[in-house]
Amino acid sequence: MSGMILEINNLHVEAEGKEIIKGVNLTVKSSETHVLMGPNGSGKTTLSNAIFGHPKYKITSGDILVNGKSILQMKTYERAKLGLFMQFQNPVEIEGVNFIHFLRTAKESMEGRNIDFKDFMNCIKKYMKLLNMSDEFINRPLNMGFSGGEKKKSEILQLLLLKPKIALLDEPDSGLDVDALKTVAMAVSQAVKENNTGLLLITHYSRIVSHIEPDFVHVMVGGKIVENGGPELVKKVEEKGYEAFNNIEDEQK
């Protein structure tokens, strides 16, 4: 699978007339693992939604490029077909849409071909076993009655199945107990290793980072990335909290 470079250049984004993203620059390549950390309300989720073209968020200046070409005029499904993937913080429950039928339709749409059902189910069961998901999910509607942790696992199953070139994971650790967190982290690491998937993993906790070795860590405060580095930044957050980065944000104003 060919690689991908996602570039975010001086991006400014507003919602309901309020500027939330205030000039973000970030580059993510296939096979790289980036962690974006920051307190609640810092703009992390807004950034991921803007990358995927959510209509609520208006890009007022800057650009988003994939392999050097702007994607701002592309619809969300077109961005997905390029090889981008987004795991939602709060996945939607859709009554009447079978979980497995949804996955198969998504897979066939991405690959542009019909997929043998037996082969598909063997693949699904392999990933469900990896994620410690019960076979009962096969006959359930999409996310209906799923716990918070089960919804996160179903999103990571999609990550494994669709094999994107770059994946945005929006708080994959929220709502998970210790065991589920380890399982999800292992599955995410496997996706990176097997498919050379680039990750932009969004979180405000450090616990999942202890299970996924990041190449780069970025700290976002007040709609800006105020510091870039490696795993040492995670330790700084753990020891000093996000308050330690407020002075950096003030200096950038």
Residue 172 to residue 187: CA distance in whole angstroms:
11
Closest CA to 26 of 14, 40, 38: 38
Q: Domain ranges in the chain?
A: 5-252
Hey, what long-range contacts does 97-101 have (CB within 8 A, 24 or more apart)? 97/141, 97/142, 98/139, 98/140, 98/141, 98/142, 99/137, 99/138, 99/139, 99/140, 99/141, 99/142, 99/143, 99/154, 100/124, 100/138, 100/139
Residue 5 in this model has a pLDDT that exceeds 90 = yes
CB 175 within 8 A of CB 87: no
Q: Does domain 5-252 have CATH number 3.40.50.300?
A: yes
Rounded to an integer, the average pLDDT of 151-180 is 89
What is the residue type of 246?
N
What's the CA gap between 9 and 65, in Å, rounded?
8
**pLDDT at residue 247, rounded to an integer:** 64
Residue 36 has pLDDT above 60, yes or no: yes
With beta carbons less than 8 A apart as the criterion, state whether 164 and 85 touch: yes
At residue 143, the pLDDT reads 74
pLDDT in tens, 66-81: 999 999 999 999 999 9
Stretch 234-238: mean pLDDT, rounded?
89
Q: Residue 251 pLDDT > 70, yes or no?
A: no
The two structure tokens encoding residue 193: 């290793």
Cα–Cα–Cα angle for 129, 130, 132, rounded to 5 degrees: 60
Per residue in 169-227, pLDDT (tens digit) is: 998 888 788 888 899 999 999 888 888 999 999 988 788 888 888 999 999 999 999 99
The overall average pLDDT reported for the chain is 89
pLDDT band at 35 (very low <50, low <70, confident <90, very high): very high
**Average pLDDT, integer, range 134-155:** 80
pLDDT for 147: 76
